Structure 1
Amino acid sequence: MRPRSWFQVPDQTVLVARAAFPNGSVAMSARDHVGEVFTDEQFAAAFGVRGAPAESPGALALVTALQYTENLTDRQAAQMLARAIDWKYALGLELTDPGFDASW
């Protein structure tokens, strides 16, 4: 795993998310109020140093929390990350980011 520190939300993602959700959303609130709880550093001891780098465990933890709040399957959560502007905001992704495969 290559830990990444808490990341800035891309400007375009902020602009579009705030326009689409002027009052915010659960995902946006998660980012704004508790997002720093989901840092990679706290998961570092659980990962080895060999092999292919893993997806950000902090991002996966946040996706899992959002998945739970919306009662989604793994596949549905992956689809939300691919298409939902507020989820992209929550994870600090570019609007064009495809998300990740549900089988990871």
Structure 2
Amino acid sequence: MSLRPRSGEQVPSLTAQIARASNPGGTTAMWVRDRLDGLWRDDDFAGWYPRDGRPGISPAQLATVSVLQFLLGLSDRQAAEAVRCRIDFKYAMAMELDDPGFHHSVLADFRERLAQDDRADRLLDLALAR
């Protein structure tokens, strides 16, 4: 899979409206989006993916899902299901409500890429700097 960077992705208005209406007090996923948005950008992951091939899922979105997965104690299957089914996860990832999400194996692949070299440390340093 190749990287096709997205930039400045905003939460779709219908997703935001329904997420706020159904969760007026917010959720952990909404808190993560509202407070931690911008910690990573797809360009930060450019060296992790080849330039050719079918476009992959946004690595910044996968990093967000990984944070939510850790915070909520979810398995890969549960996290992928939450992306498919939960409005607050779609909000956190700036997805349209009808976005089908991704297969759970994508998260293992992302963690594998993250474990190479000192990538995790570099992402943490970048997040702390921002």
Greater RCO between the two (CA within 8 Å, min separation 6)? 1
CA distance in 2, matches of 1:63, 1:22: 21
Secondary structure, in 3 states, of the residue corresponding to 2:10? coil
Write out per-residue CA displacement over residues 5-51 of structure 1, whole angstroms, 9 at most, x where no aligned residue.
13111111111000111111111111111111131111112221122
Q: Percent same amino acid among aligned pairs?
A: 45
Structure whose CA Rg is larger:
2
CA distance in 1, matches of 2:52, 2:13: 34
Q: Which has the higher helix share?
A: 2
Which letter does structure 2 place at the counterpart of 1:17? A
Gaps of 5+ in 1: none
Which letter does structure 1 place at the counterpart of 2:99? D
CA distance in 2, matches of 1:38, 1:74: 21
TM-score under structure 2 normalisation? 0.77
- Runs of 4+ in structure 1 deviating by more than 6 angstroms, as ranges, are none
Gaps of 5+ in 2: 107-130
- Root mean square deviation of aligned Cα: 0.9
TM-score under structure 1 normalisation? 0.95
